[in-house]
Amino acid sequence: MNPEIDAHVRLDTHPTHPSAVQAVLTGSQARVALMALEAADWNVAATNVLVLARIDHEEPYWAEDAAKQLIAEGIAVEITPQLREAMDEEWTWANYPMPWCSRNEIREVSNQAQKIHDDIRHGQLLIHAHAHDGHTTVAVGTYLGPGGKSVYLHGEDHLRQVADTFDSPAQALLAFEKVHAAEMRPGPAPLTDTEHAAIEAPSVFDVTAAKSEPSRPGPETVPLYLADAGDHDALLDTFLDAHREFERWRTWSDETTHAIHESQTLRIERVHETPAHETAWTVAAYETPVSERMWVLTATGATPAPVLEELLNHLADGEGWDTTIGAPVDEKTVTAATRPLSDADWKHTVDGRWIRWTSPAGDAGVRFDAFTAQHHPSQNLATWTIWAGPDRDRPTWTVTASPHTPSSLLADLSETLAHDTGLRRPQTAGTGHKTSLFTSPAAIPAVEANAAASRSR
């Protein structure tokens, strides 16, 4: 039949992955086909190129299913001979542990495993811990969102299944620890070879050419709070390489990296590719692995890397995130946190519920919300706000912290704001501004973030 939509999809085998399938889209309405394939869990690999890569090696079957759906929508589909051969091939898993299953039943089991894989990849299923039970990998996690159940997972790749469910993360973790305490490790297990291959398949088509940037004026020395944001990802990588007590995992959608301290009482989340004014980092501390938050701190995407470095180095001291949840936030606490600002002659004012410290040039400040600290001390609301930019109502970046954030940590940040300098590369008219890390002295990048764990609280 003549297609009703001006879109053409050519399905072919993947050039390097043994079972993955690629789709090349053409036509003025190719976007319609792209949206349909994305809804079927195909991944965009380049402009009008998508890839289906699964952990169960059933890509030809699901590609044929997608082709039928596209044709039903009036989209023209071409299937190459080599892919058609793969679609028609009959095969079985060698040494499959459930030999009583039919081919369709095996496909259903593996598809459920694929759904678990995708839920973890897209950040919908947060894995708290994993272990090896002597035969395979087991894990415990929680589905995020209202009414999300906690689950016990058994197996790897196409054999992973939900073996049990729990009503809360605490209940699930306690049950998991009771059985697997000796082998228990925080976060998800390392990726298997099959998972690696599925994740890397789309990158074969990443043909985006790196464009050289035009020369720009040299960087200028500025107060540290006005420095370039720098490379937050490099900051994280270097820190985690130096501090093995933090275990790293990155969501398979590649949007977020989490780092969990071996004690499981400090969790850090870094959301990659975050707009400058949105939250890119969240740090949360807990009294025990299954307790409520003691305190939480956030930072936006434009926060200078050396400010984050100071934060992360403080956390790496070991006890740098400890605090007492019942202790009141009193005048002594506030004074200790802001003494470096007072010593540097930052302007100190009191305006109703707000206590403020403002830099001599008026381009940075710290604000303390006394009302929230006194009347909502246990709700982890933003009580401290650190900012820099044209004025406090139009900040370039902000850091917020809840009432019980350790005063020693805030004092370290205040010291950095008051006395350190960095470099800022001016923007050139007509070119985009890409930040680079320039510090004085040179900074050693630090930790990243993990707050998805805290969303399950």
Residue 209 has pLDDT above 60, yes or no: no
Assign 339 a pLDDT band (cuts: 50, 70, 90).
very high
Residue 211 lies in a domain: no
Whether residue 238 is found in the same domain as residue 143: no
Which residue pairs, CB below 8 angstroms and at least 24 apart, start in 431-436?
A: 431/213, 431/214, 431/216, 434/213, 435/228, 435/229, 435/230, 435/231, 435/302, 436/219, 436/228, 436/230, 436/231
Residue 1 lies in a domain: no
Q: How far is CA 42 from CA 34, 172, 345, in A?
A: 9, 32, 57
| Mean pLDDT for all residues in the chain | 84
Residue 338 lies in a domain: yes
Closest CA to 83 of 137, 129, 23, 136: 23
Residue 430 has pLDDT above 60, yes or no: no
Residue 323 has pLDDT above 70, yes or no: no
Residue 209 lies in a domain: no
Closest CA to 311 of 382, 433, 410: 410
Average pLDDT over residues 352-360: 93
Bond into 99 cis (ω within 30): no
| Structural domains of the chain, count | 3
Query: Which pLDDT score, from 0 to 100, does residue 308 have?
Result: 94
pLDDT digits (tens, 9 = 90+) for 169-207: 999 999 999 999 999 998 888 889 899 889 888 888 754
Average pLDDT over residues 291-320: 88
Contacts of 281 (CB under 8 A, 6+ apart): 232, 268, 269, 270, 271, 298, 299, 303, 308, 448, 449
More reliable by pLDDT, 452 or 288: 288
Whether residue 448 is found in the same domain as residue 303: yes
Query: Which pLDDT score, from 0 to 100, does residue 1 have?
Result: 43
Whether residue 69 is found in the same domain as residue 107: no
Whether residue 161 is found in the same domain as residue 114: yes
More reliable by pLDDT, 4 or 265: 265
Rg of the Cα atoms in the chain = 26
Residue 427 lies in a domain: yes
Domain span at 375: 220-455
Which range among 79-83, 254-258, 431-435 has the greatest average pLDDT? 79-83
150 neighbors 113 (Cβ within 8 angstroms): no
Residue 77 has pLDDT above 90, yes or no: yes
Whether residue 242 is found in the same domain as residue 352: yes
Assign 93 a pLDDT band (cuts: 50, 70, 90).
low
Residue 310 lies in a domain: yes
Assign 327 a pLDDT band (cuts: 50, 70, 90).
low
Assign 100 a pLDDT band (cuts: 50, 70, 90).
confident
Residue 162 has pLDDT above 50, yes or no: yes
Assign 328 a pLDDT band (cuts: 50, 70, 90).
low
Residue 322 lies in a domain: yes
51 neighbors 14 (Cβ within 8 angstroms): yes
Query: Which pLDDT score, from 0 to 100, does residue 445 have?
Result: 28
Task: Look up the CATH number of the domain holding residue 21.
Answer: 3.30.780
Average pLDDT over residues 205-219: 51
Query: Which pLDDT score, from 0 to 100, does residue 157 have?
Result: 92
Whether residue 314 is found in the same domain as residue 367: yes
Residue 450 has pLDDT above 70, yes or no: no
Whether residue 372 is found in the same domain as residue 303: yes
Query: Which pLDDT score, from 0 to 100, does residue 426 have?
Result: 66
d(CA 408, CA 333): 9
Whether residue 228 is found in the same domain as residue 292: yes
Last residue of a domain, one of 39, 60, 88: 88
Average pLDDT over residues 54-66: 93
Residue 400 has pLDDT above 90, yes or no: yes
| CA dihedral sign, ordered 114, 120, 121, 124 | positive
The Cα angle at residue 37 between residues 31 and 39, in degrees rounded to 5? 105
Whether residue 137 is found in the same domain as residue 237: no
Whether residue 35 is found in the same domain as residue 183: no
Average pLDDT over residues 234-239: 90
More reliable by pLDDT, 140 or 187: 140
Among 25-39, 128-142, 204-218, 219-233, which stretch is predicted with the lowest mean pLDDT?
204-218
pTM of the model: 0.50
Residue 49 has pLDDT above 90, yes or no: yes
Whether residue 110 is found in the same domain as residue 156: yes
Query: Which pLDDT score, from 0 to 100, does residue 287 have?
Result: 86
Whether residue 413 is found in the same domain as residue 360: yes
Last residue of a domain, one of 48, 63, 88: 88
Assign 129 a pLDDT band (cuts: 50, 70, 90).
very high
Last residue of a domain, one of 34, 65, 88: 88
Query: Which pLDDT score, from 0 to 100, does residue 317 have?
Result: 78
Residue 108 lies in a domain: yes
